[in-house]
Amino acid sequence: MKTIIFSSLIITTLFSGSSFANNDAQHEQMAQQLETSMKVMNDPKLIKANAKYIKNLYDALVEEGFTKEQALKLVAATLASKK
């Protein structure tokens, strides 16, 4: 009976260890993905392109007859819904 309990304990410990190693690998991968995402999001070209899109959207809304205040609210709502 002691042998069965001891064997069960060893097997549990081995699986737990591999689970921790797997979690560490997953955390490392997630950290690398986050770092890459942050680099991409902070790329000046991307920021400028996003600003141009927002300005063009605002201008198009005003050109279509929305007031400046309405256009601003629509742009803000559009950006908020993308998050």
Helix, strand or coil for residue 37?
helix
Taking the whole predicted model, whether its pTM rises above 0.75 is answered as no
Kind plus residue range of the DSSP H or E element containing 68: helix 68-81
Q: Write down the pLDDT at residue 13.
A: 56
Per-residue pLDDT of the chain (83 residues; tens, 9 = 90+): 444 554 555 555 555 555 556 788 898 899 988 888 888 888 999 999 999 999 999 999 999 999 999 999 999 999 999 86
CA distances in angstroms from 61 to 10, 23, 29, 36, 81, listed in the order given: 67, 48, 42, 34, 17
Sorted by where each begins, the domain ranges of the chain are 1-42, 43-83
d(CA 43, CA 51): 12
61 Cβ contact list (under 8 Å, min separation 6): 70, 71, 74, 75
